[in-house]
Structure 1
Amino acid sequence: MILVLEKGITEEKKNSIRSILRREGCIVREISSNEQCIIGSAGKPAHDVDFFRRLPGVVKVTPVSTSFKLVSRQMHPEDTLIQVGDVVVGAERIVVIAGPCAIESRDQAMTIAQEVRRYGAVLFRGGAFKPRTSPYSFQGLGEEALKILAEVREEVGLGVVTEMTSPAQADMMMKYVDVVQIGARNMQNYELLKCVGRMGKPVLLKRGLSATIEEWLMSAEYVLSEGNDLVCLCERGIRTFEPYTRNTLDLSAIPVIKNLTHLPIIIDPSHATGIREKVPPMARAAIAAGADGLMIEVHHDPDNALSDGPQSLYPKQFARLMRNIYVIAPVVGKQLDFDYLDKAKAVDEMPAAPGHADRRTAFLGEIGTFSHKACTQYFGTKITPVPMSSFKAIFEAVKQGEVDFGVIPLENSLAGSIHENYDLLLEYNLKIIGEIKLRIMHHLIGHPGTRMENIKRVYSHPQVFQQCQQFLNSHDNWELVSVSNTARAVKQIKEKGTPADAAIAGKEAAEIHGMEVIEEGIETNPRNYTRFAVIGNKPLKNGPKNKSSLIYSTGNRPGALYETLKVFAERGINLVKLESRPIHGKPWEYMFYVDIEADVESDSFKPILKLLQKKTDYLKVLGCY
């Protein structure tokens, strides 16, 4: 059951409630939810619900209706995030686990690990103990394979995932691996589930071959009831009458799981299909359906693999799949970050801003804006977001060292460039060190229970009104009130408390302020993306870059701009943006902002840069990333 406590409850009263629940044999969890103090309990207390309603400090008691309690979203409304080294499973960045079905040798494991890391995998999978249908099939190398996995972590920098088949392996798992996998055949091995629950390591729990979703979640309940909340669910296909694939991948489980539980979900299309050519389309579909990540089998020589070669992707196939996922992820509000691990390492190694223990990134507006989302999707949990009141304040804070980085919007696919930020890039001697693109989805948000016909006023940023013009035209009786940012709009209607007021903002702002989405996706054009730049005093990490931003001016003579563009064209350098901006104080003279797919700071580009300097009156490199 869920006990909602009174605001400002004393610690003494709270401890008393906890003690009563524990005396009655309940497992107790404290839940944070929008300024409300909530205690969740699982078990069968001796007293009824009315007894707990009468306890001092209790406002409301709600029984949990499902048979699974601790894994229920009723008990834990917020998504669970599972930290595995520098990787966070369940957050806004897609987690891809890749590697061979089984560890066959050190050379095989290292070769595949280096390949999958190069193409964006952040965790490495490989079996050490292999439960096989036939007792004569390869059963795995056992502890020798675990030692190889530990070497992979040390040398390649990937956390490792492997299957545990018996409680007797617990000590070895604690010594060598980062994530313990419970295979499909062991999903209902309750002694094994209790054992991994007591171990406290992150657990990847695969769905059984013929298990219902409720049975799967009840297995997860066993792990959580032993005190381990770090459970990630893995859908790997279920057995049906269909013979054309190894199993049937239940993609409908993704939205069902997201609704029923707070635990993250990973999809394994390799075991689901059993056929190499079927893995990429199912992986793409899984991300589109809202999965938190993928588990993909990859082998450099699958024809000679000792286990599951026919379903293992070649490294190049894996690379193509990752590029496709990179494109799909923003459509569903997530990112695939190819620099995930390198970025995390670089942030860990850099000194914090003076006077602060943490690394900080400035963004415009408030928590819950799209700029805040860009900040968290680029850096994850490694950086503390710092709200700022203006773009200039962001640049100034980075320049003065008050924050380590700034996140600024540069252009929107519908509204065009944010010219103020291009002007500030010219004014300040800061560098673009990265970029991220977000799909911008606007929602009509109001007080819980508000009906659209009762709305009279709508708050949001003026640009948002433009992007939702078609929807707003059908409600021309609404008064539109401009505010500085979308999160402020939601915060304002909450503080006013008027049911006739609504706001247009992202879903995150509604969740933060306890408001309700009345209508989803009201933007006129769904292809609404904003490109954000990350700025800093120096690059986040060394190494090759694939994109550069420049600004330059040319003389007022025929063909001057053409001559600069010719430098790129004749050398096969792709130009992805060209925009002119007036030069302040010089009417009818312009600067040109250029983005190219090249690293202009590399040694190989130096001769080209010198030639470009000769053909321009002014040239500044804004950044390579």
Structure 2
Amino acid sequence: TEITSPAQADLMMKYVDVVQVGARNMQNFELLRCVGRLGKPVLLKRGLAATIEEWLMAAEYILSEGNDKVILCERGIRTFERYTRNTLDLTAVPVIKKLTHLPVIVDPSHATGIRDKVLPMARAAVAAGADGIMVEVHTEPERALSDGPQSLYPEQFEQLMRDLHVIAPVVGKQVDFDYLPKAKYFAASTPSDATLVVYAGVPGSFSYKAALQYFGESAPMENVATFRQVFESVATGKARWGIIPLENSLTGSIHTNYDLLMEYNLFIAGELTLRVVHSLIGYEGTNIEDIKIVYSHPQVFEQCAEFLSQHPEWDLVACKDTATAVTRVQERGDRSRAAIASAEAARLFGMTTIKEGIETHPQNFTRFVVITKEPLQNGPKDKSSIIFSVSDRPGALYEVLKVLAENQINMVKLESRPIHGKPWEYMFYADLEVDLDREDMKHIMKEISERTEFFRYIGSYRQGSRVVS
């Protein structure tokens, strides 16, 4: 809710979660200090004629009162252009990202003032790196008392969210529909002395990045050395949630983790698609010509095969994860050594990115899943995973797939893995676009179990971002 006067502070303190300072009050310094003292999150909109520096200086007034919960909002500035209400300055987003730690969102509704211009500018805002968007939606915009011409119809908003679901992973983000209920559930169900999330690797690894993106920076986390230790931590109750990679869009399935899913009696509670951008990392001043040894994970070497083929003289040394590779280089202090990891890992360990984006294909995504001891009960779910085996006879697998076809259930993944101790016999893992936990779907599981030698349901959850070209 927008505050326009310090006299409204007591009312805001009682009823409002987030206080907005509008564009016309961006340099109302008395008001800025007032909202700073409230201690509530503050959405600070950019002034109509404010420079980026003036905008940041306005934020300093709030911060100076001890309130670090400031969200910047780019909502367009006044220029000579008359085709839109204001000119949406999307260049401000990457500039702000460079200058400050504060999150920045974009308001394309007030910036353009035109309904059909809101959608493309919202998509562009997310692509530019905005942490969020703020749009107006109305079931009957023509009857709205204000801002009707810029308000989206609900079906337009639905289309926008589908588009952003695809765009967000490209810039290392996700559309998290369940963020608030998830955060409340985690807070209510986790004892203060328990680790909430466990991941394999060290801070700076892609698993660490996925855990941060899914659970948020405030979630208690612990790292372990191996994927098996992730499963063991969840199975024994040491951690409530684990996050593991299951497949990569370039190199395929991570077989170890499929085997562990079959071995441990755990459930999938969520998934996340993370874009993977690999960088060559070393000490400041390192030239590519100086490098003799490169460290990284074996799958990363595969994903960067084209770049590495240009340097056949390099020795490739495998590490358990990409962040460990960076620490190996850091510990040796030798410019003849480099690592392949994320640019975030380089910053975390004080190293330099020598060359960014060295993966062979830019559409390099890894699918992570969240595992837990009990199946997810609450919240919207539209995807399920099952494990099963069939007898060794013609048509056995077909009979299972026929159940899915007859019930109009789309199977988006089928993985086969050898059964340990039974040569040439296989266990199947399948992802289905359906919530098998629904009462009207229970007969599906019964029909499948009747046609299999082994059947296990391993959870229903909301689909993560499905990336399309």
Same fold (TM over 0.5): yes
Structure 1 partner of 2:416: 580
Structure 2 partner of 1:248: 87
Q: Pairwise mapping of residues 86-165 of structure 1 onto structure 2 (< 5 A)?
A: 162-165=1-4
Contact 1:194-1:222 within 8 A present in 2 as well: yes
Aligned equivalents of 2:354, 2:190: Cα separation in 1 = 44
One of 368, 377, 389 as aligned partner of 2:225: 389
In structure 2, relative to structure 1, the CA distance for the partners of 1:618 and 1:518 (3 Å cut) is: same
Classify the secondary structure of the residue corresponding to 1:586. Answer: coil
In structure 2, relative to structure 1, the CA distance for the partners of 1:228 and 1:395 (3 Å cut) is: closer
Structure 1 partner of 2:172: 333
Is 1:219 aligned to residue 219 of structure 2? no
Aligned equivalents of 1:528, 1:218: Cα separation in 2 = 39
Identity across the alignment (%): 64
Shift, 1:236, TM fit: 0.4
Classify the secondary structure of the residue corresponding to 2:174. Answer: coil
Q: Greater RCO between the two (CA within 8 Å, min separation 6)? A: 2
Question: 1:323-354: per-residue Cα shift (whole Å, max 9, x none)?
Answer: 211211111011111111111111112143xx
Question: 1:446-501: per-residue Cα shift (whole Å, max 9, x none)?
Answer: 11232222222211112111111111122222222222211111111111111222
Aligned equivalents of 1:597, 1:289: Cα separation in 2 = 31
Aligned equivalents of 1:586, 1:193: Cα separation in 2 = 70
Q: Pairwise mapping of residues 184-333 of structure 1 onto structure 2 (< 5 A)?
A: 184-333=23-172
In structure 2, relative to structure 1, the CA distance for the partners of 1:594 and 1:181 (3 Å cut) is: same
Structure 1 partner of 2:467: none
Aligned equivalents of 1:619, 1:567: Cα separation in 2 = 14
| Structure 2 counterpart of 1:531, one-letter code | R
Structure 2 partner of 1:463: 299
Aligned equivalents of 1:394, 1:222: Cα separation in 2 = 44
Contact 2:105-2:130 within 8 A present in 1 as well: yes
Shift, 1:541, TM fit: 4.3
CA-based RMSD of the aligned residues comes to 1.6
State which structure, 1 or 2, has the greater radius of gyration over its C-alpha atoms: 1
Q: Pairwise mapping of residues 373-452 of structure 1 onto structure 2 (< 5 A)?
A: 373-452=209-288
Structure 2 partner of 1:616: 452
Structure 2 partner of 1:569: 405
Contact 1:342-1:541 within 8 A present in 2 as well: no
| Structure 2 counterpart of 1:212, one-letter code | T
Aligned equivalents of 2:36, 2:423: Cα separation in 1 = 70
Question: 1:430-456: per-residue Cα shift (whole Å, max 9, x none)?
Answer: 111111111111111111232222222
Classify the secondary structure of the residue corresponding to 1:509. Answer: helix
Aligned equivalents of 1:314, 1:295: Cα separation in 2 = 15
Is 1:183 aligned to residue 22 of structure 2? yes
Q: Which runs of 5+ in 1 are unaligned?
A: 1-161
Shift, 1:251, TM fit: 0.6
Q: Which runs of 5+ in 2 are unaligned?
A: 462-469
Shift, 1:165, TM fit: 1.0
Contact 1:460-1:489 within 8 A present in 2 as well: yes
Structure 1 partner of 2:466: none
One of 309, 324, 334 as aligned partner of 1:473: 309
Question: 1:515-538: per-residue Cα shift (whole Å, max 9, x none)?
Answer: 111111111111111111111111
Question: 1:115-167: per-residue Cα shift (whole Å, max 9, x none)?
Answer: xxxxxxxxxxxxxxxxxxxxxxxxxxxxxxxxxxxxxxxxxxxxxxx111112
Structure 2 partner of 1:484: 320
Contact 1:405-1:536 within 8 A present in 2 as well: yes
Classify the secondary structure of the residue corresponding to 1:518. Answer: strand
| Structure 2 counterpart of 1:410, one-letter code | L
One of 179, 182, 187 as aligned partner of 1:348: 187
Q: TM-score when scaled to structure 2?
A: 0.94
Aligned equivalents of 2:195, 2:391: Cα separation in 1 = 43
Classify the secondary structure of the residue corresponding to 2:130. Answer: coil
Choose 381-390 or 614-623, whichever is displaced more. 381-390
